[in-house]
Structure 1
Amino acid sequence: MTISAVLFDVDGVLLDSTAAHRRIWTSWSLARGLNPEKVWRLTFGRRPEDTVKDAAPHLDPVIERRVLDELLAQEKDGFPPLDGAADLLEALSDSPWAIVTSGDRTSVGERFAAAGLPLPAVQVYGSDVEHAKPAPDCFALAASRLGVAPSACLVVEDAPAGVSAAVAAGCTVIGLTTTHREESLGQAHMCAASLAEVRNLLIAQGFLARP
């Protein structure tokens, strides 16, 4: 495996956002008379408006996205860094890497600042592509902006939709088992239980120097 760049999803990969997102989607679901558990299963790795389209096709996804953004704004301290995120990103400071997320630029930027994590030069958000995850467009765009082939990109993803998108783009994928079990990430080329494991793999592949 030749690695020229590393592409990270954000929620569940660099930020521990599960609890906050669960509160947001539960509140929204109950207010709309929907089953929170059914809605929750539709959320991972996807843009909020795409989840709304599937969970409540009778509602206007644009309007509901605004409601969800308002709920998101109330969770200011709900997105701490995942264990090992700061150390891994510091180790990558001189290497090509990017974030590829279904989130929006403003909220992700605020959460990274609050978590004390650096943002890379290349950032791809849900609004940057017409077709979001599980379509491959977001990962293809990140690779293009980095000037490398998708086949030379290692993607770290925690959600089946994101894994599917990265595989479809031609990337090598590590499924991070922070929000889903390994069997749910079956398309991933390999799985890791922590970012420390991801860092060790990058060291073993010669992409990062040994500390």
Structure 2
Amino acid sequence: MKISAVLFDVDGVLLDSAGAHRRVWDAWSAARGLDPEKVWELTFGRRPEDTVRDVAVHLDPAAERKTLDRLLAEEMGGIQPVEGAPALLESLCGSPWAIVTAAPRDFVRARFAAKGLPLPAVQVYAGDVQHAKPAPDCFALAASRLGVPASECLVVEDAPAGIQAAVGAGCIAVGLTTTHTEDALGQAHMCVPSLADVRSLLTAHGFGADRS
């Protein structure tokens, strides 16, 4: 397995935001008369507007996205880095890596700045592609921007939609079991329970500042 770059999802991988997102979607679902559990199941790894299209075809996805972004902004203070994220990203200094996320650009940049997390030169957001996760476009675009073959990109994802997108793009898909079980991430080439394990995997393959 040759690793020339690492592509990270953000929510559930680098930022522990599940609680904040759950409160947002529960509040939105209640206000729209929808079943919160059914809505929540369709949110992971996907653009909010795509979830809206699936659960409420009578609503305007663009307008609802603005509402959801406003609700999320009110929850930003409670969002923290996933354990091990600062150390892992620090170890990648000088190595090719990117973030590939369905989260809003302003939200990600604000949270990274607030928590002292570095942002990579390559950042792919849902609005950068026509087809978001589970389509492979976002990971293919990140690999292209990095100038690295997709087959040499290791993707760290916590959601089935993200794993599906990574596999579809031809990347090495690693499932991080922070929000889903290993069974739910069954398409992944391997699963690990923590970012410390991701760091160990990268070190073992000579990638990052830890390489000898």
TM-score range, shorter chain: over 0.9
Q: Tell me whether 1:169 sits opposite 2:164 in the alignment.
A: no
Query: Cα deviations across residues 141-197 of structure 1 (Å, max 9, x unaligned)?
Result: 000000001001000000000000000000001100000000000000000000000
SS in 2 for 1:52: helix
What is the rounded CA distance, in whole Å, between the counterparts of 1:30 and 1:182 in structure 2? 30
Aligned to 1:119: 119
CA contact (8 A) 2:20 2:76 kept: no
Q: Tell me whether 1:91 sits opposite 2:53 in the alignment.
A: no
Give TM-score scaled by structure 1 length.
0.98
Q: Tell me whether 1:178 sits opposite 2:163 in the alignment.
A: no
Letter in 2 for 1:136: P
Count of aligned positions? 211
Aligned to 1:30: 30
Query: Cα deviations across residues 55-109 of structure 1 (Å, max 9, x unaligned)?
Result: 1111110110011011011012121000000000000011000000011211110
CA contact (8 A) 1:13 1:158 kept: yes
CA-CA distance at 1:140 after TM superposition = 0.2
Aligned to 2:61: 61
CA contact (8 A) 1:79 1:115 kept: no
Aligned to 1:188: 188
CA-CA distance at 1:137 after TM superposition = 0.2
Structure 1, unaligned runs of 5 or more: none
What is the rounded CA distance, in whole Å, between the counterparts of 2:205 and 2:154 in structure 1? 11
Give TM-score scaled by structure 2 length.
0.98
Work out the percentage of aligned pairs sharing the same amino acid. Answer: 71
CA contact (8 A) 1:29 1:35 kept: yes
What is the rounded CA distance, in whole Å, between the counterparts of 1:127 and 1:78 in structure 2? 25
What is the rounded CA distance, in whole Å, between the counterparts of 1:32 and 1:196 in structure 2? 40
